[in-house]
A and B are shown apart, each in its own frame.
Chain A
Amino acid sequence: MSEIDRRNFIKLAGAAGVLASFGAVVPGAAQAAMSSKVPDIIRKPIPSTGEEIPAIGLGSWITFNVGNDMELRDQCADVVSAFFNAGGRMIDSSPMYGSAQEVIGYCLDKLGAHDRVFSTDKVWTSGDGAGQIDETAARWNTKNFDLLQVHNLVGINENLPLLFRMKDEGKLRYVGITTSHGRRTEDVIALMKNERLDFVQVTYNPVDRKVEEYLLPLAYDRGIAVIVNRPFRGGSLTQSLEGEPLPEFAAELKVDSWAQLILKYLIAHPAVTCPIPATTNPAHAAENMRAATGQLPDDKMREQIAAVIGLLV
């Protein structure tokens, strides 16, 4: 296990022991109240500042694009509520995601949770990047973002300097770039080497592992935080594993589902800061967050996880 993992493991193991000893004497109602509090979850540092954030975030691709449907908007708010209650902070979106930004703004307004979120969005235009960021902020009903990223490197030559300027002016805390499906890897690597990026967002899961070869080690060396998109391959990975029994070694990690096993696989990588699974189900949001508790797999077990999943899908 890495230093971070050992530290968290010891801390969490201690906390678990205390809670277990309470369990014998604390009445059910009190236990329920305790469980509704934010659990002690694994946090990972953003290398450029040392600020720690919860190791699981929340994506909004497809799942939060519900338009003006109020019933579905309220369901999204339930997801965000479950996510926050389970200790989550980072929510990620993009101007590309239809109404998702506006729906996130609705959820944060409804929950009064603007101060709880680590707001992460993107700029995705070859035209007026500043104008698009203003629109994005209006949709979130926020003034400043924690992190803005150049989405899939669109308009990178204009948008990256814009984001650095915003950061220098104190209007933005972190700057990043994103890619997905392994697109433009060479360009991403060049930017990681030459620009003072805080974050890079990439596609990574036990089946799509190409980033392990060079990109993740580079991020680790350069001190760039890594957000992982498509941890479940847009849901197809967990769907194809549905009904399959978890491997025996998973019992060591105390996981309830393939989703948790995959997320533990991801956050155990020392370069990974925060996967951002998306869901429409509040129970799944909480379940995903539980992957950021307890023990993480070591390198050997990570290989086992990838091998088993690779065989099943």
Chain B
Amino acid sequence: MSEWWDYGLADFLLFSPRVYYRLFETLNSVWWIAVIAAFVAGLVAAGMAMRHGHRGNRVILVLLALIWAWCGYGFVWQYYQPINWAVAYILPGFAVEALLLLIFAARPLPLRFGWRGDLTSYVGAGIMIVALVVYPFVGLIEGRDWIQAELFGSAADPTALGTLGFVLMARGTWRWLLLPVPLVWCGFASATLWVMDQQVAYVMLAAVWLTIFSGWLDLKNGVTTRRLTEAELAHPPAASD
């Protein structure tokens, strides 16, 4: 008899684009201070992550942890989950991601962010720019009102997208642990947007594959497996890895 595998992707589109994009309108209107604060925090973190040899790694990680916790509670749980029961299965991932980011921040040798000049850095920076700078304007381009803008830090899609960029800009053996949750979300979001016939679905999907490819390149080149030393932390090299 019929069970869950009997369904197609379109069967799980539970809401209309109109209802979906009004979620951001409500979020941005009701929680505007938190939305702006989270977006600014994201910009600060991105600015720090793009610089080479800075010492704000823990700050970046803590800001991202706060952003994931807020995004999970503020948007996903409060607004998105009521119209999409499937989200309830991914929602704990937001808490896990926030916790992982805090654990990385608390480690004696936290992840180190910075521009390395390799392909992974370019991909990471590109994804961050798309998530923070381009994504808020996607709605305007598609004819939606500015109040429905999806901002990094509060809206889940650009937040997950941008986090992929942050991780690609980071160094540290275990940094890949930060990828599964945003990758799963980006895949989920891409499928949802695709069923809703939204072109931005391809952006999310491209980011997923670029991240996986860049991660594979790093693994191949040994960037991932080599541990950072205390000396490297104290005196970051000028050249790229």
Point out residues on A near B: beta carbons under 8 Å.
62-63, 65-69, 72, 96-99, 126, 152-154, 156-157, 179, 181, 183-184, 187, 280
Determine whether the beta carbon of B19 is less than 8 Å from that of A184. no
The answer, among A63, A65, A68, A184, for a CB contact under 8 Å with B2, is A184
Residues of the A chain whose Cβ atoms lie less than 8 Å from the Cβ of B4: 126, 154
Q: Separation in Å of the B199 CB from the closest CB of chain A? A: 19
A157: which B residues are within 8 A, CB to CB?
Answer: 1
Contact B6 A66 (CB under 8 A): no
With A67-B15, A179-B2, A183-B6 given, name 4 new contacts (CB 8 A): A67-B79, A69-B23, A98-B85, A99-B83
- Give the docked Cα–Cα distance between A152 and B6 (Å): 9
Instruction: State whether B3 touches A62 (Cβ < 8 A).
Output: no
Are B82 and A153 in contact, CB atoms less than 8 angstroms apart? no
B225 contact set on A, CB distance < 8 A = none
A residues near B19, Cβ cutoff 8 Å = 65-67, 69, 72
Q: How far is the CA of A179 from the CA of B2 in the complex (A)?
A: 9
B14's contact among A97, A184, A187, A280, by CB below 8 Å, is which?
A97
Are A98 and B26 within 8 A (Cβ)? no
Distance between Cα atoms of A99 and B88 in the complex (Å): 13
Q: List 14 A-B contacts (CB under 8 A).
A: A63-B16, A65-B14, A67-B15, A67-B82, A69-B23, A69-B26, A98-B14, A98-B83, A98-B85, A99-B82, A153-B1, A184-B1, A184-B2, A187-B2
- CB B90 to nearest CB in A, in angstroms, measures 15
Q: Which residues of B contact A99 (CB under 8 A)?
A: 82-83
B84 at the interface (CB under 8 A from A): yes
Chain B residues closer than 8 Å to A67, beta-carbon distance: 15, 19, 23, 79, 82-83
Closest chain A residue to B2, Cβ basis? A153
* Distance between Cα atoms of A68 and B30 in the complex (Å): 13
Please provide the chain B residues from 1 to 17 with a CB less than 8 Å away from any CB of chain A in the complex: 1-4, 6-8, 13-16
Scoring B4, B14, B18, B19 by chain A CB atoms within 10 A of each residue's CB, the highest score goes to B19
In this assembly, does B22 line the interface, its C-beta being within 8 Å of a C-beta of chain A? yes
